Amino acid sequence: MMGKGSFIWRWCRKSGNISWLYLEVPEVGSASCCNELFVRCVHLTINRNHCGAANMNNVNKNDPKRIVICSDGTWNTPDQKPTNVVKLVRSILPRAYDGRHQVVFYDQGIGTGDLMDRYMGGIFGYGMEQNVLDAYRFLVHNYEEGDDVYFFGFSRGAYTVRAAVGLVHLIGLIKKDRLAELGNIYKYYRTPPEKRELGRYSHIMEHRPAIRMVGVFDTVGALGAPLYLPSAITQHWVKFYDTSLSDIVKNAYQALALDERRAPFVPSLWTGVPVEGQLVEQCWFAGAHSDIGGGYARSGLSDVTLKWMVDNAVRQGLDFDDQYLNAICKPNPSNKPHDSLPAGSRMLGSVAATDRRVFGEPLADPKSRPLNVRVHETVYQQIAHQQYKPINPDFPFELGGVQPAQEQRKGIRYAGNGAPSRIQIGEREADCELLDFSRTGVRVAYRGEPLLDPQRVVAIRSSQTGDVTARCVWREGNQFGLQLVAA
């Protein structure tokens, strides 16, 4: 266990430099111990060829830095088989190619302490509050105007970072000398919105930073317990967290598990409509929960999602140690997904099973439908090779001909939120509702006459799509999938 003022070092394989992370923690029993865990991060890049002397050449202390907050899943620690969060943490360069510092904070998953902590954290979610506040404090102590902020998480760690972003959105970053009030601020945050006093803490806010990127692997939280328990029990520690996608987030990515069937592991997808200038992508991959977030010895599938997330992070400005990544990341989409329901649990009935829906419940409130959903091209590649067949009830097999990633993104679906629209079938027009749409197709709810048969070409008019021509390719009840065609 580290004492006050401890250094942790890590070596950057590509640059041959050592990065030191300084942690200053109040002594147990001190006045600030409970209210103000001070975590100060200082990066010193030490050139190994200069006898350990700090090499501060070409470093401008006023240059903005990149702050990366990472939170792992339940029962996950860096000493085990590494999750994708651990691999991300270890591969981020302490100094980017443009000279900017990249400051990394890692919080291991809840339920990683003693036996009692494992049960209370793993089953009930106890400890999530501490992890949310640790991430928030780190930002308060380290953020300066102009810094880029990134959040990454897996499983309940994904829920944790989304909750931390929600806290930043609601409160902003408070002044450091007001951290003693964080306990009350946290209670305010967990108060239902309709009961909050508006602007109560605006006078102590110092910054409201934009979040450059949120990248998460298969978010679970509201349930997310490894054992099936009533949600009223687990939600004691997680309810009222704001994990929605706020306007301070500029880019958001989520990798999701097609083959996770444990009902308590229901994923938390972003829903609604993105704000102007906001990029959101939620992508489904083959595999169970830890095939997406990592932690299995056979990591071919989780390395597919790791590469996808790293590629997105690079586009958003983060720099990685490519040599190290190439050594630890070996994507193999042909790996067989792990069985998320062990035989014992099926026999005993201890874990309820459910098949995840790619596009959410068909009759759900339009505002709660998943936002910008797509299926990764590797899934269709494995289907084409007859090595994989999803059992998700609404899996979009009709998009299977799309292969390259840039082309696959044409299929990203945007929420239509049931917008009133018009459909023309032959010479007749009727009302319909736009459920979602992409650059290649639309999904509508239509209950009128005449009947809409598969392969029928129709015209759609909507405020969100304009006037388009489309062919009906599938029907499920009163819902129809239409593929856009040339007029």
Domain assignment of residue 387, yes or no = no
Please report, as a single letter, which amino acid is at residue 130: Q
Domain assignment of residue 22, yes or no = no
Domain assignment of residue 179, yes or no = yes
Q: Is the pTM of this model over 0.75?
A: no
- Residue after which a domain boundary falls, among 328, 350, 381: 328
Domain assignment of residue 352, yes or no = no
Please report, as a single letter, which amino acid is at residue 171: I
CATH number at residue 165: 3.40.50
The structure tokens 């109040």 sit at 26
How many separate domains does the chain show? 2
Cα–Cα separations (whole angstroms), residue 18 to 12, 13, 107, 277, 327: 6, 9, 21, 38, 19
Pair of tokens at residue 70:
């990472």
What's the CA dihedral at 270, 272, 276, 282 to 10 degrees? 30
Nearest to 127 by CA among 163, 152, 87: 163
Cα–Cα separations (whole angstroms), residue 481 to 104, 399, 444: 44, 11, 7
Domain assignment of residue 276, yes or no = yes
CATH number at residue 419: 2.40.10.220
Distance CA 254, CA 215 (A): 6
Q: Are residues 304 and 437 in the same domain?
A: no
Domain assignment of residue 136, yes or no = yes
What is the chain's pLDDT, residue by residue, as a tens digit (487 residues)?
333 333 333 433 333 433 434 343 333 333 333 333 333 333 333 332 322 333 334 446 678 999 999 999 765 555 568 999 999 999 999 999 999 999 999 998 654 444 444 444 444 444 588 889 999 999 999 999 999 999 999 998 999 999 999 999 999 999 999 999 998 998 898 888 888 887 888 888 888 999 999 999 999 865 433 434 444 444 444 454 566 789 999 999 999 999 999 988 889 999 877 787 899 999 999 999 999 999 999 999 999 999 999 999 999 999 999 999 999 999 999 999 999 887 655 544 456 788 999 988 776 676 777 888 999 999 999 999 888 999 999 898 876 644 444 444 455 667 676 788 999 988 889 999 988 887 788 989 898 776 788 888 999 998 778 889 999 988 877 888 898 887 6
Domain assignment of residue 480, yes or no = yes
Domain assignment of residue 11, yes or no = no
Q: Which domain holds residue 452?
A: 415-485
